[in-house]
Amino acid sequence: MKKAKWFSGIFFALMVLAVACGGPAPTAVAMPTAAPTVTLVPTPHPTATPVPVPTDTPTPTMVPTPAVPSSPIIFVMHDDYALGRDITIKIRNNGTNKYAYGEYYPACQNLSFHDESLKVRRIESFGEIKELPEGEFIIPQGTHCDLANQLELLPGEEAILLIWDQQECVTDNWGCAESIPLPAGSYSIVGTFYEKPVTVGPAANPFERGDPITIKWSFKINP
């Protein structure tokens, strides 16, 4: 019994001595954790849009309008006439060659007359009914084709073709048997003239024709 108490006392003393020598129990020190490596992603820069640099506007190339050659033969007339008054129809040769034109009844060969309508006229001509093109009519001076003559219009010359009394022929029986006055309106004259070839010698044909040229003149007859 004494031996057991003695053993317990020794054990207790050893425990006290261990505590006294060792001191307080060591406190656990936290070890620093290595910070994670941060990968920096570069911020994308916006794609630059090219800005056009203003330049001087190029001067447009002007394409010249081709000049319309002037006609060697022209009508010499006015743009307006009074209703019921005679109209003098003349031509002028502005070219370098001579041209042929009809005398006395030039509308027989050279001229045709038109109004702005699409009326188709039917007239009695030389005993037969004749239908004219749309808007076309004939005048008394244009009916006696057997009396037509041919003259030369030299360069620089001017000639009267006819003096028209604003009448329209409606019956042509070997001459204008009946005519009526035309109303006010818009009219036009178309003329075809032929260059006169140079003819010499006794066998020359005075009616020989060269190159044709067609001209037009528009005018108004006012009330």
- Kindly report, residue by residue over 35-84, the tens digit of the pLDDT: 555 555 555 555 555 655 556 666 666 666 555 558 999 999 999 999 99
Residue 17 predicted with pLDDT over 50: no
Assign domain 73-118+144-166+183-222 one CATH number from 2.60.40, 1.10.3230, 3.30.460, 1.20.120.
Answer: 2.60.40
Nearest 5°: the CA angle 118, 120, 122 is 160
- For residue 85, what pLDDT is reported? 96
Q: Find out whether 112 and 102 touch, Cβ atoms under 8 Å.
A: no
pLDDT of residue 42: 57
Judge whether residue 199 has pLDDT over 90. Answer: no
Residue with the bigger pLDDT between 68 and 215: it is 215
Residue 19: its pLDDT value, please? 45
CA–CA gap between residue 24 and residue 19 (Å, rounded): 8
Q: What is the pLDDT of residue 217?
A: 97
Cβ pair 105, 121 in contact under 8 A? no
pLDDT at 66: 55
Higher per-residue pLDDT: 214 or 202:
214
HEC string of the chain equals CHHHHHHHHHHHHHHHHHHHHHCCCCCCCCCCCCCCCCCCCCCCCCCCCCCCCCCCCCCCCCCCCCCCCCCCEEEECCCEEECCCCEEEEEEECCCCCEEEEECCHHHCCEEEEECCCCCCEEEECCEEEECCCCEECCHHHCCHHHCEEEEECCCCEEEEEEECCEEEEEECCCEEEEEECCCEEEEEEEEEEECCCCCCCCCCCCCCCCEEEEEEEEEEEC
Query: Which amino acid appears at position 10 of this protein?
Result: I
* pLDDT higher at 20 or 96: 96
Which pLDDT score, from 0 to 100, does residue 118 have?
A: 87
Q: Please, what's the largest Cα pairwise distance for the chain?
A: 191
Give the angle 218-150-174 at the CA atoms, nearest 5°. 80
Q: What is the pLDDT of residue 39?
A: 54
Q: Quick check: 20 pLDDT over 50? A: no
Q: What are the tens digits of pLDDT across the range 145-176?
A: 766 678 899 999 999 998 999 999 998 877 78
For the chain, give the mean pLDDT: 77
Amino acid at 9: G
